[in-house]
């Protein structure tokens, strides 16, 4: 087994969120009324990198629900609305919390989802929990191979376009249009810049596809319930492309955990050059974002991006013998 690399903060403890008591009184009253009884307990979601409210609420009648809320002027409210639309249309075989209701109250958008009694997997991954996550994603990917028309009508971008538009940083750096990020110093990036740019440029043509992807499949978007089953959360950024790209994204933390990420990927029919291109694009995106300075969303988001970028680059270097 290789050396294990761990993030500075476990992914179940990255969020900085308002408490239930911080919400406007009228909003709390409206949520309680919609739940049918006063809220007597609120357990904030520890994972994620937004500052919006997200908590498991318990009422005096014993009902539990997972409730998210964000001010309408905050872009997060649009993300929550999008998540509500998408998760309401997912096939039954996709293990994801479904929306129970939404409402707009006190200048906030509120989304109520089915609660999952579970936890974000701790790193290093345990093989049973990683197996559960990959099994859930495999079943979801199979059922989303031909997404239904209603899902596409929500507005789903193509993964190749996302890579060209948002994840072509090594090419920008190689062309002298962007500086090498400070976060990349000490990695193989400066010495392998030409190779990284070439891999990144080839990636869009290798990740194209018509399947619906999660688009943000990472460890903190997985919940493991008490039975050991995995649930895939936060369907805010789905796109159309090759499902193995999401698998690569998830397996970056498996590589960091000292596990054989390539062995886990072997069942996904991923072209080797496509995997390398995906890792190059992901590493460039994460390392450049990590170089942006403190984040207003979470003090841990830059740590996450740097850790993820370094591990994606290390996995790529391992695959190519750099």
Residues 71 and 133 in one domain: no
Structure tokens at 28: 């709390």
If one counts the domains in the chain, the total is 2
Parent domain of 298: 118-320
- Please indicate, yes or no, whether residues 127 and 109 belong to a single structural domain of this protein: no
Q: What are 312's two structure tokens?
A: 């994606």
Q: Is residue 293 part of a domain?
A: yes
Question: Residue 77: its pLDDT value, please?
Answer: 96
Helices and strands per DSSP (H, E), number in the chain: 11, 10
- Residue 169 belongs to some domain of the structure: yes
Inter-residue contact 246 to 264 (CB < 8 Å): no
pLDDT of residue 295: 67
Nearest to 2 by CA among 321, 315, 259, 250: 259
Report the CATH number that the domain containing residue 109 is assigned in CATH. Answer: 3.30.200.20
- Flag whether 4 is in a domain: no
Alpha helices in the chain (DSSP H): 25-35, 75-87, 127-143, 149-153, 159-166, 169-174, 193-206, 244-256, 261-265, 272-290, 301-320
Start-to-end CA span in the chain (Å): 19
Check whether the bond before 124 is cis (ω within 30° of 0). yes
Interatomic CA distance for residues 238 and 152, integer angstroms:
10
Strand partners for 239: 213
- Over the chain (322 residues), the average pLDDT of each successive run of 10 is 83 88 97 98 89 95 97 95 97 97 97 95 97 98 96 95 97 96 93 98 97 97 97 96 98 98 96 98 97 76 93 97 96
pLDDT for 15: 81
* Closest by CA position to 305, among listed 291, 316, 290, 295: 290
- 162/262 same-domain check: yes
Q: Is residue 55 a part of any domain in this protein?
A: yes
Whether residues 79 and 191 share a domain: the answer is: no
**Looking at the structure, do residues 106 and 142 belong to the same domain, yes or no?**
no
């Amino acid at each position: 087994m290789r050396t294990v690399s761990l993030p500075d903060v476990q992914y179940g403890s990255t969020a900085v969120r308002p408490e239930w008591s911080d919400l406007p009184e009228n909003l709390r009253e409206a949520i309680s009324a919609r739940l049918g009884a006063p809220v007597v307990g609120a357990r904030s979601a520890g994972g994620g990198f937004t500052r919006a409210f997200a908590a498991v609420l318990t009422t005096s009648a014993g009902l539990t629900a997972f409730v998210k809320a964000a001010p309408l002027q905050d872009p997060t409210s649009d993300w929550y609305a999008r998540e509500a639309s998408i998760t309401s249309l997912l096939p039954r075989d996709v293990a994801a919390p479904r929306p129970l209701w939404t409402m707009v109250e006190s200048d906030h958008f509120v989304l109520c989802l089915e609660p999952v009694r579970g936890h974000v997997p701790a790193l290093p991954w345990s093989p049973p929990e990683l197996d559960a996550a990959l099994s859930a994603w495999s079943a979801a990917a199979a059922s989303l191979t031909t997404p239904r028309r209603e899902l596409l009508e929500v507005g789903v971008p193509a993964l190749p376009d996302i890579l060209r538009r948002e994840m072509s940083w090594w090419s920008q750096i190689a062309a002298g249009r962007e500086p090498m990020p400070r976060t990349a110093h000490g990695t193989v990036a400066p010495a392998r810049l030409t190779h990284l740019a070439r891999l990144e440029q080839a990636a869009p043509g290798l990740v194209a596809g018509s399947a619906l992807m999660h688009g943000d499949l990472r460890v903190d978007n997985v919940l493991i319930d008490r039975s050991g089953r995995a649930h895939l959360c936060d369907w805010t950024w789905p796109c159309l492309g090759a499902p193995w790209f999401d698998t690569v994204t998830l397996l970056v933390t498996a590589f960091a955990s000292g596990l054989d990420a390539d062995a886990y990927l072997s069942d996904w029919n991923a072209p080797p050059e496509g995997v390398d291109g995906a890792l190059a694009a992901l590493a460039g995106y994460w390392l450049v974002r990590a170089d942006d300075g403190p984040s207003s969303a979470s003090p841990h988001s830059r740590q996450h991006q740097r850790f993820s970028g370094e591990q994606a680059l290390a996995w790529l270097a391992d695959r190519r013998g750099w």
